[in-house]
Structures are given as C-alpha cells and as structure tokens.
Amino acid sequence: MQSINKARILIIEDHHATLDAIRMIFEFEGYEVLGLSGTVDLHTQVASFLPDVILIDVLLGITDGRAICTELKLSVHAAIPILLMSSRNGFQNGTYYKQHWDDYIEKPFEMETITERVKMLISKQKK
C-alpha cells in the first residue's frame, strides 16, 4: 500500500494561477501532483499517472467539469475518488452529486480544508 505522503493527485483546473496554487499546496504536503489545464487526452493521462484522487473544477472553459466527472465514473477509472471544486454553490446537493463525484468543495477554500478532504478520499479508497 502506498504511503499517503506519496499519493498521487491529478488536478484539472483551467485557471493557471489557481492550478499553480493548488499544486503547490499538495506538493508542499508531499504528494505527487499532475496539473492539467484541460481535458485533452484525459483518459491517457489518468491511465499513465494513476492518481489516487482527482480534483476537477466545475467550469473548465467551454467544458463542464461535472460532465468530466460523469465520463470518468462511467469508465475504467470509476474507482478513483473525485473532488469537485467550484466558486458556484448548489452543486453538492441531490442524487446527481452522489453518483458522479465523491466530494465537493467551494472556492475559495482554506489549505487545511482541501488537504483534509483529499486525505479522507484517499483513505476511503485504500480500504
């Protein structure tokens, strides 16, 4: 079993400053991080990186991050926990939430909050 400090996190965020900030948070915590600003070749990237958790922004330019969550959950990557991030609220409620992503965090968030959520998702996956 992989150490939590060596866990891999894939971040999909199209705002470069936000992507860099989130990447630095997790690299500082000792995680291996891959940051993507889009979803081109996503399944290939996921298959080669093998993340323990994926963080996805709701708004990815013209792409809806929720659709990416659905696509991943209906693929061979379905077991990978997904943390959906958004500056818009209201996505965390309902059945759709329960089926297509594992947790939700509203931006802006505190560093401690997002790292705790990711640790929780990784520990659930490892069981």
Name the architecture of domain 4-126.
3-Layer(aba) Sandwich (3.40)
Which residues share a beta bridge with 94? none
Amino acid identity, residue 3? Answer: S
Secondary structure in 3-state letters for 43-77: HHHHHHHCCCEEEEECEECCEEHHHHHHHHHCCCC
Q: In which residue are the tokens 């500082």 written?
A: 28
- Write down the pLDDT at residue 93: 55
- Write down the pLDDT at residue 124: 85
Name the strand (E) or helix (H) holding 102.
Answer: none
- Write down the pLDDT at residue 34: 98
Q: Where are the domains of the chain?
A: 4-126
What pTM, to 2 d.p., does this model score?
0.88
- Write down the pLDDT at residue 1: 39
Per-run averaged pLDDT (10 residues), the chain, 127 residues: 70 96 96 96 96 94 90 94 82 56 90 96 83
Q: What angle do CA 48, 87, 51 make, to 5 degrees?
A: 15
